[in-house]
Structure 1
Amino acid sequence: MQESHTYFLLDIKHKTAYITLNRPDKLNALNTLVLKELAEILATLEADDNVRGIILTGAGDKAFVAGADIKEFQEFSSDEAWQLSKSGQEKVMDELYTFPKPVIAAINGFALGGGLELAMACHIRVASELAKMGLPEVSLGIIPGYGGTQRLPQLVGRGKALEMIMTGEMIDAQDALQWGLVNHVVPPGGLISTCEKLLEKMYQRSQTAIATAIRAVNIGLMEPEKGYEEEMDAFANAFDTPDFKEGVAAFLEKRKPNF
């Protein structure tokens, strides 16, 4: 099933939703309306039981998302900028970060500024060999506003994060892999198929357990003092789920589980 939106292409097949930001002439730049539409798509997919996972990418071969639409910033007051940051973080970035189904960013080109922040909000990042990533906001006299100062250090450590943020320079895909910013680097032609293979492995596991694991990992990162308690509670609650009963039965009967 393929759906067309103003700024996105949405294709759902074999349990996977393919979300493509479709502004190649603008290098798939983010603006308020793009983020609003993405938030609506995510809400629909979360409620769709036929969707088990998401692949998020950009149209064309140049950019995943090459940043925010700077023209939109020009007339903003500080109050309007705060609202933009709050809305983008809460309605899109945080939604992706806490999404209960696996979300993979397929980074097909430039992922800069808000584009890299969008990729970092996803659970897993797979990059084309041609991809380049960076947070160039200090070149404009601002800083990342969609979670970049928080999520980049989680992935690459404080020192490398500050280097990237303070220089504003891009890194290539191999450096991103070395620093843990991306999970895999592949030839451009293998980008989507690699994402699909990762999701297929996850679809063979318990959907309930995956959603619970996402939540436990996130709580441990966002509120470290609560992480172990959350894990213990989630581990115990899993014993009451149908997936646990099926998983154990399949193991003992030496067959594949039917989740």
Structure 2
Amino acid sequence: MPSTLQVSSDNGVVRIVLDSPPVNALGAQMMIELHTVLTGLREDPQAKVIVFSSANREFFSAHVDMGIGEQMDVLQWLAAQAPEGVSVFQVVGELIRNQPQVTIVKLAGKARGGGAEVVAAADLAFAALETAGLGQIESLMGIVPAGGGTQYLRQRMGRNRALEIVLTGELFDAKTAAEYGWINRAVPAVDLDAFVDRVARNIAALPEGVIAGVKQTLPPEDLTPGFALEQKSWAALIGRPEVQRMMAEALAKGAQTVEGERDLEGLMRSVTP
């Protein structure tokens, strides 16, 4: 099976490109590969900055693969790697949030669900003004975010805006996402690559010890109590027959295809009772 990631390194900047056609669904293989790469980088003194992007300019990561529940062996392996108080779906976000390197997302296209949680977990995120979009689609699937999204959003922008994002399930444009604090800023699409490259290289070139010092003085908040609430709510909903029906109908109507994912919100509303 081909890798779902392209990984390269240059002058202290590690670039991780998500590459799992057609829409970069966050599946079990991608989760394992991200875990492996990020864990390995923790002990790499040459790695200063990690930049996440997508080989598909239209989709950063659609969301978690709707069929991931069928890959129990892989999920059990991931669960065994999870720190105490972190569920299998929260593992990747917490790895990103707690990396010793500075983590940056370059968002040219859409990120929903688990893909949006990756964006919110990163230290910095920059998005293409005209083409990027972010959404927590889970409520339209009859569930709640399970990869840390509820807690990341509340921390970044406050309870009221987090509630708006999670309850509406809408796709938010880059300008609004920046105003809400979901991302650092929206950049014209034509400038995005050069802008992120400059930020990454400038940070990687800082004097020895500066990155570690800054990250120590601005540590990530402990969100494990909220993670437990998130996992409990998700577990109470995911097994409901109505939720399984909606997911199956969504897949039959084109979810996880390019056409279906272009307006996933409309597609999900078409299968909601």
> Offset of 1:207 from its aligned partner?
4.3
Provide the secondary structure at the position in 1 that maps to 2:60.
strand
Q: Which residue of 2 aligns with 1:248?
A: none
State the partner residue of 1:47.
Answer: 43
| Closer/same/farther in 2, CA of residues 75 and 93 from structure 1, 3 Å limit | closer
Structure 1, unaligned stretches of length 5 or more? Answer: 224-259
**Seq. identity, %:** 27
Q: How does 1:1-259 map to 2 (within 5 A)?
A: 6-25=3-22, 27-73=23-69, 83=79, 86-90=87-91, 92-129=92-129, 130-219=131-220, 221-222=221-222
State the structure with bigger RCO (CA 8 A, min sep 6), 1 or 2. Answer: 2
- Per-residue CA deviation, residues 122-180 of structure 1 (Å, 9 max, x unaligned), is 10000012101010101111111110010001112110110110111111000011111
**Aligned to 2:118, what secondary structure does the other structure show?**
helix
| Preserved CA contact (<8 Å) 2:53 2:107 | yes
> For residues 14 and 75 of structure 1, what CA distance do their matches in structure 2 show?
37
Cα deviation per residue 1:30-83 (whole Å; 9 max; x = unaligned)? 01221111111112222222221111011111111111111224798xx98x95
Partners of 2:173 and 2:53 in 1: CA distance: 18
| Maintained 8 Å contact 2:13/2:201 | no
**TM-score normalised by the chain length of structure 1:** 0.75
- What is the CA–CA distance in structure 1 between the aligned matches of 2:205 and 2:215, rounded to whole Å? 16
Residues in 2 aligned to 1:141 and 1:109: alpha-carbon distance in whole angstroms: 25
Relative distance call for 1:100 and 1:207 in structure 2 (3 A) is: farther
Whole-Å separation in 2 of the counterparts to 1:215 and 1:69: 34
Distance 1:32 1:215 in 2: 31
The aligned length equals: 214
Please, what TM-score do these two structures have when normalized by structure 2?
0.72
Structure-1 separation of matches of 2:100 and 2:204: 13
2:88 and 2:217 map into 1 onto residues whose CA distance is 24
Letter in 1 for 2:204: Y
Letter paired with 1:22: D
Q: State the Cα RMSD in Å.
A: 2.5
- Greater Rg, structure 1 or structure 2? 1
Native 8 Å contact 2:13 2:204 kept in 1: no
**Equivalent-residue separation in structure 1 for 2:37 and 2:71 (angstroms):** 28
CA gap of 1:209–1:163, structure 2 versus 1, over 3 A, is: same
